Structure formats: C-alpha cells, structure tokens
Chain A
Amino acid sequence: MRTAISSVSGHVKIIGVAAALALGVAACGGGGAGAPSAGGGSTTLSVTVWNLAKTPEFTALFQAFEKANPGVTVKPVDILADDYPEKVTTMLAGGDKTDVITMKNVTDYSRYSSRGQLLDITDVAASADTAKLAGLDAFKVGDTYFALPYRQDFWLLYYNKGLLAKAGITLDGAPTWDDYAKYAQQLSSGEGNDKVYGTYHHTWRSVIQAVSAAQTGGDQLGGDYTFFTDQYTMAVGLQKSGAALDFGTATAQQADYRTMFGTGKTAMMPMGTWYISGILESKKKGESDVDWALAPMPQRPGSAEVVTFGSPTAFAVNKRSESADLAKKFVQFAAGKAGAEAIAQVGVVPALQDPAITQAYFALPGMPSDELSKKAFAPDKVVLEMPVSDKTSDVDTILNEEHQLIMVEDKSIADGIRSMNERVTKEVLN
C-alpha cells in the first residue's frame, strides 16, 4: 500500500513540474494578446490606423485632439494597409478593446455594424453639423449611426500640364469620355523605356465599374451590368492601342499608380483625391518633379452636371471600448471643424464641407491654383463607390473576378458582362 502511494506521489510531483512548465509557456503565449488593452484608463485612447508613417492625417488629427484635450494621449495601433480589414476583423472577433476603429471603407463598416461590434453613436451624429458632412448617409443603418466620416475622397482626373501643353491640348471643364480617349491617343508617345502612356487605368474594378454606375445611374448590386459596356469598350480599346498600360502588364509588375503619374509615365490618370497628399509629399521630398493639375472626372456625352464617385472614411467606437465617452468625443472632434482643419493642413480632403477649409486647402504649398482644378474639387454629385448591403462583398468578389477576365482580354466585354449577370443572379441574389 505504502509503496503505491509513494510512487504515485513521485509521479504527481514530476507531472506537476511538467504542467507548471507547460502553463508557464502557455501564459507567455497568451500574454501578448491581452497586452494592447492593458494600461487603459480614461486618459489613453487607442485608435486603429494603417501605415501611420505614410498616412499623415492620423498624426495630424491625433496631435490636434491631444492639444484640445490636455491630459489625453492617443495611442495609434498601426496596421499594414493591405491587411487592415482582415486584421481588424480578427481583432474584433477576438474581443480586442481598442477604443476607436477606423472604417477604411463602407463595405467593412457594414460588416462590423451588422455583427454588432460597434457602438451606437446616433447621439453624436445628431449633435454634429450633419448637413455639411459629406458621405454621412453611407453610415446610416436604419435610423442608427455607428460611425461618422471625417474624410471624403472622390475621383477626379489628374493630368501632367507639361505633356498636355506639348500636345496642344487644353482642358476647360470636364471632358467627355470620347474626348478623353482621343486625348489619350494623342498623348501617348515613345517606345520601350521612353514610352509615355496617354492615360493610366489602375487595376481596381472601380476605375471602370464604379464610374459607369455613378454616371449612368446603374446599380452595382442589381444583377444587370450592361451599363458597364461603354466604359469597358473605351478602356479595352485604349489598352489595345497602347494608349494605356495594359492590365496584364500592370498586374504582373504590380504597377504603382503613384510611380506612373509621379515619374511622368502617363499624361492623365483618373484617381481618387487621396493621391493629392501623396503627390504633394513626393514633390516636397524631390522624388517627383511632375507639373500637375486637376480636372473634373470625364463625363458621358450630354451630361449637364459633373458626376463622380467616392467613398468616405470614418471613425467608429468599439463596443468593447472601456473609455467609450472619450472615444465618442474623438469621433465628434474628427468629424467637426477642428478635425477638418487639421487634416486639410496635410492635404487630405475632409468630410466636412466648408468654403473656408477648401480655401485653406488650395492655399497649401504645391497645390495647383488654376480655376479648373478648383472646379474639379467641387463636383455636382458624388455617388458612393459601392452600395452597402449584406450582398456587397459577395457581389464585389464576382465583379472583380470578371473585371480581371475582361481586362486581360480573356473574355470579350459582352461575355464578361453576361457572366457577371449570371453569376450575381445565381450565386448572390437567387
């Protein structure tokens, strides 16, 4: 009897040590995950951001907020831009307590809000100057708001003044797409390394699809995409004739639109307003010497107004935040006048529309000062890049896959659009 007990207790001891060791290892492993939320208290506010070093608006906003609220420290949680949605999804699923979550796009917003991961901030929205806040509607879910936009980007046409002058082209007002295609042909020149393209269409589907939807009134979630036809015909025609870098090459060499325009490889480029701060920055650093200006997005023939598309960026409060009041205060600050001033300083387009802020914006060193650029900055209508619904991301995947097939010329435009129609109807809408 005694033998048994003594030997068993011996084992218990060994196992106990082993278990303690293992637990120690486990504890070390687990420690990291909980760390970001530790050391909270009401005076530290954590905010998820992407590419902090290259996205100056965040630092500008944080500094302004800290200055306006002495004793408060904003702690950015920096995430790689490409991984941002996946990382935030994982963080929220894992019960992360980061106070403010930046909504990089509306699609992600709809996911987080429908999963109940964000705090209802309708009270903050009610107190803001909502009439002037561009893009606010995109964040309305029923009668509730879970985020407020602080920045509103929309698309316009960047052009290289030198190259256009050399070709004898002057822009006044928004060109039609036909004119735009004609200019692109005239502007392309050279061969091999000296090749200059007339225009550059980045590989995103929005370059073709969102703009057609905005200008024709088509519905990207509707299941009938014949309204893309004209835009695809133009884009495929341009790349076939060599007036635009072809999609396949752009994908294969992972072409960077900033390099394309900043080094004068392309004369024109439809792109979002976020690139303004980028181009100002690269000229200041001496990486680019392009002489640039802005024109409104090209329009369909006979269009009386300037219609483009865009998407707002917003701040939301994490439902698990332990300092929700401070977080709400930050969201309100960013959407308000002080926030708008702070980000306009670094060349970012604020959601709050105010003549004084626009004026200050164009007064930034390096900004073009001609009338057309200013006109380009005030389009008549900005349509949301992609409508928000629970079908958005599934439709997005299909439209993107078929977009690639059309643009690499694997499918004809008609075939590509037909399979968009079929797939969206069958796989998503059914």
Chain B
Amino acid sequence: MASVTTRPAPIAPGAPRRRRPWRNILIGTSFILPNFLGFALFTLVPVVAAFALAFMDWDSYGTPEWVGLENFQRLWDDESFHVALRNTFYYAGGHIPLTLVASLGLALALNQKLRGVNFFRTAAFFPYITSLVAVAVVWNMLFNPTAGPVNLLLEAVGVDDPPRWVSSTGWAMPAVIITSVWRDMGYYMVLYLAGLQTIPKEYYEAAKVDGANAWQRFWGITLPSLRPTTFFVLVMLTIQSFKVLDLIVVMTGGGPGRSTLVLAQLVYREGIVEGQFGYSSAIALVLFLIVFGVTVTQFRLNERRNAS
C-alpha cells in the first residue's frame, strides 16, 4: 500500500480533469469526518431516534411500541401542554425584544470613547459567564416579596403594593424575563460591538456634513449597517428563548402552579421524571418544529430584504 501511494500517479490523458473534484471532496470529507462522526453518533442519531420515539410508547425499559399519532392526540388534549406552550411564547415574546434592545443600547453606549470603557464592557459581559444557578438564586433573593431589595426600593419610591414577583402567578414570568435579559444582554452586546466596528466612519462623516442629527444617523446608518448582526442575534435569541429550561427550573421550578412551566421543562418532566419517553419526544418534536419554523421564516424574511 505504502509503495502504491508514494509513487506519483501517472496521468492518463483526458481523465484527471474529471477526477480531481472527486478527490478533493474525498480529502475534504476525510478532514471533517472525525467531527462529523462525533456529531452523528452523539447528536444526529439521538435526534432522529427521538423523532421516531414521538410515534411510539416507551417507558425506557421495555420494547417501544408503535402507536402512530396517539401521542399527538394526547398532546392536543393535555392542558399542561397548552399552558406550557403559552408560557413559552410569553417568555420568548418578552425575552427576545427586550434582550435585543438592551444589548444594542449597551453596545451603543459602550462604543463611545470613554475613560474606562473596557471595564464597563467587561462588567456588562460578566453576568453571562456567571454560573446560572448563582444568578437565579441571587435574583430570587432580590425579588423576595417581603425583604428583597427590589421591593424595598419600590416601596421607597412610593409603590404601596409592589408585585410579589416569583411568589405570584402574574409576576413570576416577568421576574424570570428580567433576570434572563440581564444575564444575556452582555453576550449579545459583544456581538453588536463587533458589528459596530465594521461600519465605516466615512458614512457618519458624510451624514454630518449633510446635517443629519444623531437620531437620523442611528436610524439611517447604524441600524441598516447592523442588519447582518441583528439577524444573527435574532436567530440565536429565538432558538435560545424557545428552549429555555435551566433558569426557570432554578428560579421557580415552573411555579407557582403552572405559571412559568415551559415546553422544555415539560419534556424533562414527562420523559425523565415520569418515564414516558414517547410522549416526551412528541412534545420535543413540537418544540423543534416551532423553533425550526420560526427560524426558517426569519431566514426567508432576511433573504427577501436582502434581495430588495
């Protein structure tokens, strides 16, 4: 074998031109193969298996039994699923726009030439690298309805009956959203900062010469130039929001009642806790389709905009 490969291959006239691409593809493939095999073994196969499980009844021990659409029928009638679906959209509806605005605002503020700007950038990024459990526990303390600083502050500024945050059904989700926005905005701020660096200064100079004010410059130059970044941030945020689990589990455990129960948590509860892996996979499949659908729509919209 070794001798065969070391010998330069005699080139047959006419043939090599067609074979080259093949060869390149094979070599290229072989380079990504280790990574792809890992992905296939530990991600692709389980995902496909989970899709199949959605149409089966399986308690993790016996032989899976094909039940067709029964799991989905049950899903349709399951009130907890509807509650979790609504809550997931509620969370996404709050988390996505707020994080987007907060991170863009932060990036704009920290894009100025300020003394100690690096310190503030680091400070803004800090929540993102902090352990999520610590974040949740500390925010729970801040939101403590009777002795928490948030409510003490609200009372101090004259709010007589401040919200009971995580101990009330109405305010638990806003409390979770506030915490998650605080945690995530630093990360997306970094992406926006990077985006801001790519906007040529000449644009702003030209706009100033034409007499555009700050707001017009932001609206006419900054925002359109940031479109690729915004698109990326939006896609990432959407995916992240729909599969939220960890923060909610630590902060509220889905409660009080079912007021912060989200789909990913329901997947965990039905699958790992209750051992109904078929049903749990059905919920996961729905969650996947939602995320997939929203993301595809975003890509389509982005393409159309780019074309126009």
B37 near A7 with CB under 8 A, answer no
B61 near A18 with CB under 8 A, answer no
Chain B interface residue count, CB cutoff 8 Å, equals 52
* Nearest residue, chain B, Cβ from A419: B257
Does B169 belong to the interface (CB within 8 Å)? yes
Query: Which of A154-162, A279-287, A331-339, A400-408 interfaces with chain B?
Result: A400-408
Enumerate A8-35 residues with CB–CB distance to B below 8 Å: 9-11, 13-15, 18-19, 21-22, 25-26, 29
Enumerate B31-75 residues with CB–CB distance to A below 8 Å: 31, 33-34, 37-38, 41-42, 59-62
Chain B min CB distance to A170 (Å) = 32
* Nearest residue, chain B, Cβ from A253: B144
In the complex, which residues of chain A have a beta carbon less than 8 angstroms from the beta carbon of B269?
397
Does A92 belong to the interface (CB within 8 Å)? yes
Query: How many A-B contacts are there with CB distance less than 8 Å?
Result: 132
* Nearest residue, chain B, Cβ from A90: B272
Residue from the list A5, A394, A404 in contact with B257, Cβ < 8 A: A404
**Chain A facing B: main interface SS:** helix
In the complex, which residues of chain B have a beta carbon less than 8 angstroms from the beta carbon of A140?
none
In the complex, which residues of chain B have a beta carbon less than 8 angstroms from the beta carbon of A251?
166-167, 255-256
In the complex, which residues of chain A have a beta carbon less than 8 angstroms from the beta carbon of B38?
22, 25-26
Measured CA separation A14–B137 after assembly (Å): 51
Does A249 belong to the interface (CB within 8 Å)? yes
Residue from the list B4, B37, B80, B167 in contact with A252, Cβ < 8 A: B167
Query: Which of A109-117, A214-222, A351-359 interfaces with chain B?
Result: A109-117
Enumerate B257-293 residues with CB–CB distance to A below 8 Å: 257-258, 269, 272-275
Measured CA separation A404–B168 after assembly (Å): 10
Query: Which of B22-30, B119-127, B192-200 interfaces with chain A?
Result: B22-30
In the complex, which residues of chain A have a beta carbon less than 8 angstroms from the beta carbon of B19?
7
Does B147 belong to the interface (CB within 8 Å)? yes
Chain B min CB distance to A390 (Å) = 11
Query: Which of B9-17, B85-93, B107-115, B223-231 interfaces with chain A?
Result: B9-17
In the complex, which residues of chain B have a beta carbon less than 8 angstroms from the beta carbon of A14?
26-27, 30
B257 near A15 with CB under 8 A, answer no
- Given A6-B4, A116-B62, is A86 in contact with B147 using a C-beta cutoff of 8 Å? no
Selected A-B contacts with CB under 8 Å, 28 pairs: A6-B5, A6-B7, A6-B9, A7-B9, A9-B5, A11-B23, A14-B27, A22-B38, A26-B38, A26-B41, A85-B273, A86-B273, A89-B275, A90-B272, A93-B61, A93-B275, A115-B61, A115-B62, A246-B146, A251-B167, A252-B167, A393-B274, A401-B255, A401-B257, A408-B164, A408-B168, A423-B79, A426-B79
List 5 A-B pairs, minimum CB-CB distance, nearest first.
Answer: A248-B167, A93-B60, A22-B37, A405-B257, A404-B256
